[in-house]
Every structure is written in C-alpha cells, then in structure tokens.
Amino acid sequence: MNLLNTFFNIPILIETFPLLLSGLLVTLEIGITSIIVGLVGGLFLALVRLYGAGPVPFLAKIYIDIFRSIPLLVLLIVVYYALPFVGIRFSPFVSAVVALTLVSSAYTAEIFRAGIEAIPHGQFEASQALGLSSRHMMIDVILPQAIKIVIPPLTNNCINVLKDTALASVVAMPDLLKQATQAQALSANPTPLIGAALIYVALLWPLVSIVARLEKRFGGEKRA
C-alpha cells in the first residue's frame, strides 16, 4: 500500500497529468519535426551520395559517418552550449531539432541508399533505355520500389528519434521527461516519472509492434 502510494499515487498523477500532457505535446513537436526534416534531408543525402558529381558523394559520406558516430547527447550539448561562443544561439527547441535532425538524416540516408541499391540494375537500364530522365526514373520507377524496402528500417528510425527527444530535457526544453521531473520535484513524489514512462511506452509500443510485423513481412535492417 505504501509502495503504491509512493510510486503510483493516483491523486498526484491526476494533479500532474495536465503538465505531463503538455510535455508530451512538446516531445511530439520535437520528434515529428525532426523526423520529417530528417526524412527529406536523408533522401537528399542518399541521392547525392549515390549520384552526386565530383567530390559531392565523398562529402556526403563524411557527413553521414560523422553524424552516425557522434553521441546525440554530445551533439545536443555542443549545439546548445558551445555554439553560442561563436555567436550562434539557438532556442532549446531549435537546438533539439537541429541535433536530432542532423543525426536522423544521416541514418535515414543510409537506409534510403540501401533501399535504392537493392533495386535490380535492370530497372535502371530499362528506364534509361526508354529515355526517362534521371528524375522520372527515380520518381516513377526506383523510389516506389525502394519505399517498400525502407519502410521497416525507417519506422525503426522514427522510434529512435522519438525516444531521443527525451535528451532535450538537458537543454531545459519542457518536454515530457522535463515536465515529469519538474512535477516530481513539486509533489515530492516519483509518480509523475512513472506516468511519463508509461506515456512513452504507450506512444512507442504500437510503433514497435508495427516494425516487428513489417520486418517479418519484408525483412528489415535495424539501426545499430
């Protein structure tokens, strides 16, 4: 009973729930923005890495390797606390989105590249022989086939981005985790933290089970 009162105190949960929900909203804002920008950036990076001219593919590879190597927390702290020293000052929201997007686009680029490379060479040749431009070849022939291959790993990447939004709390972003710790301090009770954990699980569990099903159907590759 005491345990329940400590860790799952219903009145406290009800009291702090609006705060947690406002945090969830911020988490979703950061997460969804980063996912969308990361998708666009990742597709762009994949295309220039595969088909860019001159040094462009090499530069894209360097970018991708760097942002897959750097710990997100380190990157976030650099963006928020170090960049101001050179006069670049981002709000907590922008800092979080920038850091998440830089990393997400690197992973997404590799996912798209693997998807495009999995398309048989004959599809490219048939498109070229018909006179399709590179743009139409990509839009009408290659990408629609690659999409099926990349959906499971892309969904996986979305899960990772949504999870990683919790790191934004270190730059004072009032996301779900930050609000939960705030509420915990105010009520002197850990229940809001448990509530936040449950909300994360409720948000991501469906995505996790979708990925599992998709991977069974198409076979997919996990983010390392």
Pair 173, 76: CB distance under 8 Å: no
The secondary structure of 47-73 as a DSSP string is: HHHHH--TTHHHHHHHHHHHHHHS-HH
* Contacting range for another protein; rule: CB under 8 A; set: 75-83, 99-107, 121-129, 165-173: 121-129
DSSP 118: T
Considering only 133, 205, 217, 218, the residue that binds another protein (CB under 8 A) is 133
Check residue 53 for interaction with another protein (CB under 8 A).
Answer: no
Measured at the CA of 175, the angle between CA 42 and CA 166, to 5 degrees, comes to 55
* Sequence-separated (6 or more) residues with CB below 8 Å from residue 107: 38, 42, 68, 157, 160, 223
* Contacting range for another protein; rule: CB under 8 A; set: 70-78, 90-98, 116-124, 161-169: 116-124
Kindly tell me which of 130 and 202 has the beta carbon lying closer to another protein: 130
Pair 200, 65: CB distance under 8 Å: no
Check residue 196 for interaction with another protein (CB under 8 A).
Answer: no
Check residue 126 for interaction with another protein (CB under 8 A).
Answer: yes
Considering only 50, 114, 132, 194, the residue that binds another protein (CB under 8 A) is 132
Binding mask 138-167 for another protein (x = CB under 8 A): --xx--xx----------------------
Residue with tokens 């590179």: 134
Kindly tell me which of 120 and 206 has the beta carbon lying closer to another protein: 120
* Contacting range for another protein; rule: CB under 8 A; set: 18-26, 72-80, 125-133, 193-201: 125-133
Kindly tell me which of 136 and 213 has the beta carbon lying closer to another protein: 136
* Sequence-separated (6 or more) residues with CB below 8 Å from residue 131: none
Considering only 54, 55, 87, 131, the residue that binds another protein (CB under 8 A) is 131
Cβ burial 180-197 (10 Å sphere, 16+ → b, else e): bbbbbeebebbbbbbbbe
| Min CB(141)–another protein separation in Å | 6
Q: What residue ranges bind another protein (CB under 8 A)? A: 120, 122-123, 125-126, 128-133, 136, 140-141, 144-145
